[in-house]
Chain A
Amino acid sequence: MLRLSCPFCGPRDEREFHCGGQSHIQRPGPAEAVSDASWGSYLFDRINPRGHHAERWHHSFGCGRWFNVLRDTTTHHILAVYAMTEPVPDMVQSDSVA
């Protein structure tokens, strides 16, 4: 069971949340300049890393708001929780957080 800290409500069990997948995906544009390959890549390709992953979470059974989580996909350690508008925190040296 993950314990996620909603920035608005505090720590709650993962049952209250829904994971919205990879964060910080940029939609390519302008539309008329986007090739089929880059549009397909935008829609479907994912980095799917073995290790740190920046992802969106939604507090579905709570405040209903979105936020970002940096999580390790091999250990499920939560490395950082940050706002939707913030960039990914640089965690290279701080693997031992969690």
Chain B
Amino acid sequence: MREGLKSAPAWGAAWRDAAPGPAYDVVIVGGGGHGLACAYYLAKNHGIRNVAVIEKGWIGGGNSGRNTTVVRSNYYYPASARLYDFSVDLYEKLHSELNYNIMFSQRGMITLAHSRHDMEAAVKWVGAMNANGVATRMLTRADIARAVPFLDMSADARYPVLGGFAQEKAGTARHDAVVWGYARAADRLGVDIIQNCAVTGFMRSADGAIAGVETTRGTIACGRVGLAVAGSSTTLADLAGFRLPVSSYALQAFVSEPIKPVIDTVVLSLATGMYVSQSDKGGLVVGGGLDHYLSYAQRGNLPVAGNVLGALAEQFPALARVRLLRQWAGIVDVVADSSPILGRTPVPGLFINCGWGTGGFKAIPAGGTLLAHHIATGDPHPLAAPFSLDRFSTGALIDEAGASGIAH
């Protein structure tokens, strides 16, 4: 308390703002949640502490600071269910793992069905999720009216609600805290976190393997490199000389002025793709679909903003006059089957974690664990094996596009 009133002179920085060293065992490119988590698990689980995380801007300034903080595992296929449920399980323990309050709030997520077809799909999804060990349950109209009192459930609603389903252990977490928690924990295990350091090229040995990275702050030698750069994955793959099945799109989000508590869960509408939760500060956090053309501009377009906010105003009429505080966009890495790409690349020693598309935040602890495992052991973690890059030539896609009702 005393330190808080004095701008905290004695608390010091939570991690060192390191300068690049000449050489590391492993360099992780990307100081977002996934990259920092990977560095932390390399040090913690595998004892590899001579690690640098290099970030072109500041840590957590990309999609880790641009998401809508939702954590869930309501996916359709067994491989996805295992992966995302593993991540939610890690989130449940993350505050004690990192000794950092990540404000993980398992307030549940309710998906709304608006037609007979939505209801049929919901029954199918709930059946699959429960069969995969992800507990979800069907909700009646009355259940939803009770749980989400501000939702327009009237007989003449533009989007009538017939029912829905819920995953109770889904929720939200404080996104900055996840980044800062991993950064502090990784730093204490000896990881160098190097900001304002953009990769400009990769050094290769005579046999083609990774020998280091060239950056705006000089060259750094290393034996292995992990990429965790979301929407910039193609740009770095171009530098390394291979192609990815990734398209980069802008995904918008919105937050309102703080209001009194009105929504104590996460609500997603299958009809409009709009979803909303309320932060602990009282702001409504709203998201929806992608801007459907390639973009590296971290801002969204007006038509999609209109669709998302129009849906909010239509489905929650009492919230129609609430004013927005902020609107922003992150550049997300979308893959044809809406599943991540995890593991080795055509370049020996270069490993990748990308393709999380619109849903990377929820997967941070899992993405970090699995990338660290692959870098440290040379073999994919069993959870990561189905998500290898070669699935696009073998045809073993894990097509989650629309399979779990999220507008990817």
Q: Taking A18-B292, A45-B245 as contacts, is the C-beta distance between A36 and B393 under 8 angstroms?
A: yes
Size category of the A interface is 20 to 34
Contact A73 B295 (CB under 8 A): yes
User: Which chain B residue has the least Cβ–Cβ distance from A75?
Assistant: B297
- Interface SS majority for chain A: mixed
How many chain-B residues does the 8 Å CB contact rule pick out?
A: 24
**Binary per-residue interface labels of chain B (217-251) against chain A in the complex, 1 for a CB within 8 Å, 0 otherwise:** 00000000000000010110000000111111000
Complexed CA–CA distance, A73 and B244 (Å): 17
Contact partners of A40 in chain B: CB under 8 A: 245, 392-395
**Cα–Cα distance between A74 and B235 once the two chains are bound (Å):** 13
Question: Hey, which chain A residues are within 8 Å of B335, CB to CB?
Answer: 44
Tell me if A55 and B294 are in contact (CB < 8 A).
yes
Interface string of A51-79 (1 = CB under 8 A from B): 00101000000000000000101111000
Cβ-based interface call for B336 (8 A): yes
In the assembled complex, the Cα of A36 lies from the Cα of B394 at a distance in Å of 7
Contact A48 B293 (CB under 8 A): no
CB distance from B362 to the nearest CB of A (A): 24
A48, closest chain B residue (CB): B234
Is A39's beta carbon under 8 Å from chain B?
Answer: yes
Q: Is the pair A48, B248 in contact by a Cβ cutoff of 8 Å?
A: yes
Q: Are A74 and B296 in contact (CB under 8 A)?
A: yes
Inter-chain CB contacts under 8 Å: number: 68
Q: In whole Å, how far is A37's beta carbon from the nearest beta carbon of chain B?
A: 5
Give A50's nearest chain B residue, CB to CB. B296
Interface centre among B243, B293, B302 (most CB of A within 10 A): B293
Q: Indicate if the CB atoms of B292 and A1 lie closer than 8 Å.
A: no
Decide: B292 and A48 in contact? CB cutoff 8 A. no
Least distance between B83 CB and chain A CB atoms (Å): 20
Chain A residues with CB under 8 A of B301: 1-2, 14
Are B297 and A76 in touch, CB under 8 angstroms?
Answer: yes
Q: Verify B246–A48 contact, CB threshold 8 A.
A: yes
A1-B302, A1-B303 known; A44 vs B294 contact (CB < 8 Å): no
Residue from A14, A48, A74 within 8 A of B247 (CB atoms)? A48
- Residues of the B chain whose Cβ atoms lie less than 8 Å from the Cβ of A55: 293-294
Asked if A7 is an interface residue, CB under 8 A from chain B, the answer is: no
State the A residues within 8 Å of B (CB): 1-2, 13-15, 18-19, 21, 36-37, 39-41, 43-50, 53, 55, 71, 73-76
User: What are 11 A-B pairs with beta-carbon distances under 8 A?
Assistant: A2-B301, A15-B303, A36-B393, A41-B392, A43-B392, A46-B246, A46-B247, A48-B234, A48-B248, A53-B294, A74-B297
